[in-house]
Structure 1
Amino acid sequence: MPTKLTVLFAPAYGLSRLNASIALAEELIARGHRAVFAIDQAYRGQVVKRGIQELLHSLPEQVDRDAKDADDWHQYVANNAGALKGDSLEIAGGYCVQQFDRQLAECRALDEHYRSVVDIIRPDVIVVNSYVCAPALVGSGIPWVNLISCTPLLALNDQTLPPPFSGLPFKASIDDWHRYRHQFDDKFAGIQQTINEWYSAAGVGAQLADRQLVLQSPHLNIYVYPKVLDYYSGNTLLANNWLRVDSLVASTTGSQPFELPEKFRGKVGKLVLINMGRVGSGDLALMNKLVAHLTNSEHRFIVVTGSLTDKLVLPDNMWGQSYVSHVSVLPKVDLLITNGNNQSVSEAISYSKPVIVLPLFGEHFESGQRVKELALGLTLCPYTCSMTSLVASVDALVDDKYLHKRLSLIGKYMENSGENQKAVNLLESICNK
């Protein structure tokens, strides 16, 4: 057993990043290490019940998020709905650039706080899970790990793979990749320049390389992506400071056990979880459409209602709640309908569940294309799909016995792969160099 380490985690705002970070922290705690989370006050109490120390922060008013409560968020989504109606490149150059800018502003506002946290905690290693890495964390002189629970394509920056946020097929024309990538790079060039200028002014030795948006750690980079979805073949050799893990799924510690709603007991039909993420679940027009399309389905649906809990009217074959824990619900369902968030798709496959991806922006298009071309699910446009196509897709996937058998084998492999332990081994090793 190596010396007990203190590991500081700094996940960006968002449940997906938080949950992946918790899963890695639990592996470290099991080995006797100490985990400390620097997280937004919105997640107060989420990690302490797992034996993790929390250090809370909040953003200054001028860079605070657009919505502080459900009504504000619902209005924010409604105001921005038009930005999600184009093709993947239009959405990347508009909405995704806006979101990247916001995360950069948040990271700037938190940099001094992170500096204080590092001084107080004196960690042996820092784990960052964010598109934008704060200089106080990556320029501290302390070994740091880049945990990538979002799209791997953006972080890998590999020109031999499909461009990020595109949803282009793996076997598409290279010319199609290059055309998209050229325009994508132009749209994000200003952000890359701003980050590099910030790093230079802060004395961070590293800079984003050409066409790069996510800083790579010289110590260790861990990307979360199931082997069955991975773009690289088994013969591909990654650099020594890169590791892929199938999934990082938090334990059920502290989570409320999920009990089948009373209205579903005794009823026939498969069980389906619908979780469209914070943005999708805040889009009343979109959620009303999905509910209407599935109202007459023979199956039962658990709907994550997000900020629309008091506004969404659900039929008899549906039950909703603002939030449900994936680790508690996924083992009990037959299918996940999702926006295509990378963490959610990885969790579903780890629990041997097929997915229907209804992509909204960014990495969602990648997830949809990947599960489609590897026959692990289907993808539909959330705004234009017909009732017939959505109902038929649900019926096809819940009744596909061959797919469920295949996913069962994949899930068992992921459970026993030992990759998470390999990640902890590497994390420990960089502290002993």
Structure 2
Amino acid sequence: MAPAKTIALFPEASYGAALNCVGIAQELRRLGHRPVFLCHPGFSGVFAEYGFAEYQLTEADAAPTDWTEFIERHQDAFRQTPLDQLESYVGPTWEAIVDTAMRVEEPLRQLLARLKPDAIVLDNVVMFPAIANAGVPWIRVVSCAETEIPDENVPPYLSGCGDNERTAWTVFAGRYEKTVAPAHRRFSAFMAECGLKAPAAPTFLDLSPWLNLLLAPEIIRHARRAPLDPQNVVFLDGCVRHEAPYTPPRFASHNDAPLVLTSFGSLGAMDVAMTKRMIAVFATLPYRFLVNAGHWREDYRDVPDNVFIDSWFPQPSVVEQASLFIHHGGNNSFCEALYYGVPSLVMPYCWDGHDNAARAAETGVGRRLNRYDWSDADLTAAIEGLLGDQAMHKRLKANAVKMHKAAGVTRAAQEIDGLLTGISR
């Protein structure tokens, strides 16, 4: 093991990336290193809750991007197909991401100069010049779907296409490149101002020359035409953090029934009307349901006896006890379900959730259900079908044994430690 190093982790402003990095940081700390977090406004306290030092990154000359407000303004887009979302959501999102990267450049440069980290872990979808120019190794973490790293045999990123929908790949890829072109031109000019060459369009972040960590477990991995270089690309087979134990509440009924967790992430929870519609179906089923309502917990008044609603759950600890996980296709949620051998009912609404929904269905580890276009009978059939699919459960449990043995967070920390050991010799 290398002597203790200061390792700065910089996840994007999403709980998926943030909590994925927490898992890696927990293992780095166990190895004797000093992980610290650079965090966007609004995430202060998230990392301190796990005992890590955190440094808030302010945005220069403007109010920070309020991603909750951004999502609220674009909620209507979530009813659209991935192709239609390109104009209504994906394009504006890339513009906002580039804006954020530009505004944090100077504060980030100053913060890194003050912290003097030995390495930087970047879990994001865009390059920050201050990181490339920091003079220390940077490690890329891909906590989104594997589709983020393009390949001729991998469906286009954010398309929600299956492996056999090649015509749709071509249509989506062409429109995607056209949609993100304005944001990429601004990004390229910004990178040039900082003395760097931008990644080739339509990409905003290249692989790191030092180390890249991908979460995609083997059971859902794509067969690439050009395999990624094992010298600096490591598949972690999931990357699940340690959480506090969780004891499910005592329900008024169905206490011996299978437990189902429903969580659409910190932003997806804002669609209260859709969640209430689901709860009305849950009330008719002989199972226990935990529902993550996020900041909107107080919007739920009449709750069925077999449903418990809260604003937050220690998700890995709950998934471990669940028989089914209903989620939006966030990569952390998807990997946690696989890590604990739990089938997924994926109801995506944006970004790589579409890709993970398609992959869950075509690899037989879950089902995909349109987030809005479903009947009570559709939702009931999906839940009962997944809970009753014993062949799927058996296969998932066997895969969970493999993923536990692979110990993704431990492997991630060891790879980072090994990189620093090699450099210090």
Q: Which string of whole-angstrom CA distances, capped at 9 and with x for unpartnered residues, describes residues 9-51 of structure 1?
A: 1111111111111111122111111111111353333333544
- Cα gap change, 1:210/1:105 in structure 2, threshold over 3 Å: closer, same or farther? closer
**Is this contact kept in 1: 2:254–2:286, CA < 8 A?**
no
* Paired position in structure 2 for 1:213: 204
Cα deviation, residue 211, structure 1: 3.0
* Paired position in structure 2 for 1:240: 231
User: Is residue 279 from structure 1 mapped to residue 273 from structure 2 by the alignment?
Assistant: no
- Cα gap change, 1:323/1:234 in structure 2, threshold over 3 Å: closer, same or farther? farther
* Paired position in structure 2 for 1:323: 312
* Paired position in structure 1 for 2:104: 110
- Cα gap change, 1:266/1:361 in structure 2, threshold over 3 Å: closer, same or farther? closer
Tell me, what secondary structure is at the counterpart of 1:310? helix
Q: Which string of whole-angstrom CA distances, capped at 9 and with x for unpartnered residues, describes residues 67-121 of structure 1?
A: 77xxxx5xx6554332122211111332122222222222222222221221121
TM-score (norm 2): 0.92
* Paired position in structure 2 for 1:153: 147
5+ residue gaps, structure 2: none
- Cα gap change, 1:410/1:194 in structure 2, threshold over 3 Å: closer, same or farther? same
TM-score (norm 1): 0.91
Q: How does 1:338-417 map to 2 (within 5 A)?
A: 338-417=327-406
* Paired position in structure 1 for 2:120: 126
User: Is residue 183 from structure 1 mapped to residue 172 from structure 2 by the alignment?
Assistant: no
More displaced 10-residue stretch of structure 1: 420-429 or 279-288:
420-429
Tell me, what secondary structure is at the counterpart of 1:161? coil
Q: Which string of whole-angstrom CA distances, capped at 9 and with x for unpartnered residues, describes residues 339-393 of structure 1?
A: 1111110011101110000010121111111010111110110111111011111
* Paired position in structure 2 for 1:25: 25
User: Is residue 136 from structure 1 mapped to residue 130 from structure 2 by the alignment?
Assistant: yes
- Cα gap change, 1:137/1:235 in structure 2, threshold over 3 Å: closer, same or farther? closer
* Paired position in structure 1 for 2:221: 230
- Cα gap change, 1:266/1:395 in structure 2, threshold over 3 Å: closer, same or farther? closer
Cα deviation, residue 422, structure 1: 4.0
Tell me, what secondary structure is at the counterpart of 1:324? coil
**Is this contact kept in 1: 2:238–2:336, CA < 8 A?**
yes
Q: Which string of whole-angstrom CA distances, capped at 9 and with x for unpartnered residues, describes residues 275-306 of structure 1?
A: 01233210122222222232211111100011
Q: How does 1:408-427 map to 2 (within 5 A)?
A: 408-427=397-416
* Paired position in structure 2 for 1:290: 278
* Paired position in structure 1 for 2:35: 35
**Is this contact kept in 2: 1:264–1:300, CA < 8 A?**
no
Tell me, what secondary structure is at the counterpart of 1:309? helix
Query: In the aligned structure 2, how far is the partner of 1:302 from the partner of 1:326?
Result: 11
Query: In the aligned structure 1, how far is the partner of 2:390 from the partner of 2:252?
Result: 23
- Cα gap change, 1:110/1:57 in structure 2, threshold over 3 Å: closer, same or farther? same
Q: Which amino acid aligns with 2:39?
A: I
Percent of aligned pairs with the same amino acid: 23
Q: Which amino acid aligns with 2:340?
A: Y
User: Is residue 165 from structure 1 mapped to residue 185 from structure 2 by the alignment?
Assistant: no
Cα deviation, residue 307, structure 1: 2.5
Query: In the aligned structure 2, how far is the partner of 1:60 from the partner of 1:265?
Result: 53
**Is this contact kept in 1: 2:188–2:198, CA < 8 A?**
yes
Query: In the aligned structure 2, how far is the partner of 1:239 from the partner of 1:190?
Result: 34
Q: Please, which of 74, 77, 82 is the counterpart of residue 76 of structure 2?
A: 82
**Is this contact kept in 1: 2:37–2:52, CA < 8 A?**
yes
**Is this contact kept in 2: 1:226–1:245, CA < 8 A?**
yes
* Paired position in structure 2 for 1:301: 289
5+ residue gaps, structure 1: none
**Is this contact kept in 2: 1:129–1:148, CA < 8 A?**
yes
**Is this contact kept in 2: 1:92–1:165, CA < 8 A?**
no
More displaced 10-residue stretch of structure 1: 316-325 or 366-375:
316-325
* Paired position in structure 1 for 2:187: 195
Tell me, what secondary structure is at the counterpart of 2:42? helix
**Is this contact kept in 1: 2:153–2:224, CA < 8 A?**
no
- Cα gap change, 1:422/1:319 in structure 2, threshold over 3 Å: closer, same or farther? closer
Query: In the aligned structure 1, how far is the partner of 2:136 from the partner of 2:38?
Result: 16
User: Is residue 312 from structure 1 mapped to residue 306 from structure 2 by the alignment?
Assistant: no
Query: In the aligned structure 1, how far is the partner of 2:255 from the partner of 2:26?
Result: 38
**Is this contact kept in 1: 2:151–2:226, CA < 8 A?**
no
Tell me, what secondary structure is at the counterpart of 1:249? coil
Q: Which amino acid aligns with 1:225?
A: A
Q: Which amino acid aligns with 1:105?
A: D
Cα deviation, residue 152, structure 1: 2.2
**Is this contact kept in 2: 1:143–1:219, CA < 8 A?**
yes
Q: Which amino acid aligns with 1:212?
A: T
**Is this contact kept in 1: 2:152–2:225, CA < 8 A?**
no
